[in-house]
Amino acid sequence: MSDSQKDQFPPKGPSRETFEGTNFDDRDLQKVHAQLLREKEEPSENFSPMPLFLVALFMVFAFWAGIYLVKFSGDFGPFHYDETKKPGVAADTGPKEVDMMALGKRIYNQNCVACHQADGNGLPGVYPTLVNSDWVQDNPDRLVKVILAGLAGPVTVNGKEYNNAMTAFDRLSDQQIAAVLTYIRTGESYNNDSYPVSEERVAKVRSEYGARSEPWSQPELESIHGPVTGEWEPPAQAETVAQPADEGEQGEGEDAAEETPAMDAPKEA
């Protein structure tokens, strides 16, 4: 076999079969050669470096992910996103006005929708309805208690019996609780025609009952607030006299004064 033939096996030109047939008559030898040629390279222990473009691609992605996180993480706060915020309006132009209905809707969708459902109808026999509910339209203090500590055991809602448990939502702020209750009590979505709930009212109930951790039962709540009828009116003095005085400190009194141009509000301009 010449040197050039050794270099390349099978040699260029005639096919391997022809080459073998003319150079070796031993069929066994041809067979062994054929087997050797079919064999793959032996696996070896070694490192094969990762392709550079993959490394580069990974770094580009990591970099992009970092930027994305910093930009859009919202400090990882669950309630960071504020749909009531208007773009282009400076943040600190006077006291912040919160759209309680928008906030309430958001709180509802984040916390209540899993059980009471988007339409508020709950699930028959399992989760009571909030739609046109006697509970929802009754005393808001009762509802604040339910939100703060939960509700368990047999309850009757709109004449239907339920015996399940609602978890506590004491992690919600006073404002968030006021908003979600205002949303379900006054919105058109759930067909309840009652009064909004103020943050102060929630704060008051929380200061009295916030320490309680076991859920309320219907009899317990009725021993405080009386039976659930769905007929609740704000007590005359407590709401109309005491409240504007409270809210006046927070700048909301001005709105009230505009509606009823009254004695003690000095007209500006």
The residue ranges that bind ligand HEC (CB under 6 A) are 111-112, 114-116, 127-130, 133, 135-136, 143, 146-147, 151-153, 155, 157, 162-167, 169, 180, 184
Q: How far is the CB of 125 from ligand HEC (least distance, A)?
A: 10
CB of 101 to ligand HEC, least distance (A): 14
**In contact, 142 and 180? CB cutoff 8 Å:** no
Shortest gap between Cβ of 235 and ligand HEC (angstroms)? 21
**Minimum CB distance to ligand HEC smaller for 95 or for 125:** 125
**SS3 helix, strand, coil % of the chain, rounded to 5?**
50, 5, 45
The tokens describing 90, both together, are 């400076």
H-run or E-run covering 48: none
Task: Compare residues 111 and 243 and give the one whose CB is closer to ligand HEC.
Answer: 111
Q: Tell me, rounded to whole angstroms, the distance of Cα 83 from its chain centroid.
A: 14
Cis? peptide before 10, omega within 30° of 0: yes
168 close to 229: Cβ distance less than 8 angstroms: no
Q: Which is nearer to ligand HEC, 147 or 243 (CB)?
A: 147
What region does 18 belong to: left with phi over 0, alpha with psi -120 to 50, or beta? alpha
> Shortest gap between Cβ of 246 and ligand HEC (angstroms)?
24
Q: What tokens appear for 149 in the block?
A: 């500590």
Q: Are 170 and 215 spatial neighbours (Cβ–Cβ below 8 Å)?
A: no
Min dist CB 78 to ligand HEC, Å, is: 13
- Nearer to ligand HEC by C-beta: 153 or 248? 153
* Residue with Cβ nearer ligand HEC (178 or 180): 180
Pick from 137, 124, 140: which is nearest to 200 by CA? 140
Residue 234: alpha-carbon gap to chain centroid: 33
What do you get for the CA distance between the two ends of the chain, in Å?
A: 114
Q: CB of residue 229 vs ligand HEC: minimum separation in angstroms?
A: 13
Task: Give the H/E segment covering residue 174.
Answer: helix 174-186
By DSSP bridging, strand 160-166 and strand 151-157 are antiparallel
- Choice between 69 and 224, CB closer to ligand HEC: 224
Least distance between ligand HEC and beta carbon 147 (Å): 6
**Nearest to ligand HEC of 149, 157 (CB atom):** 157
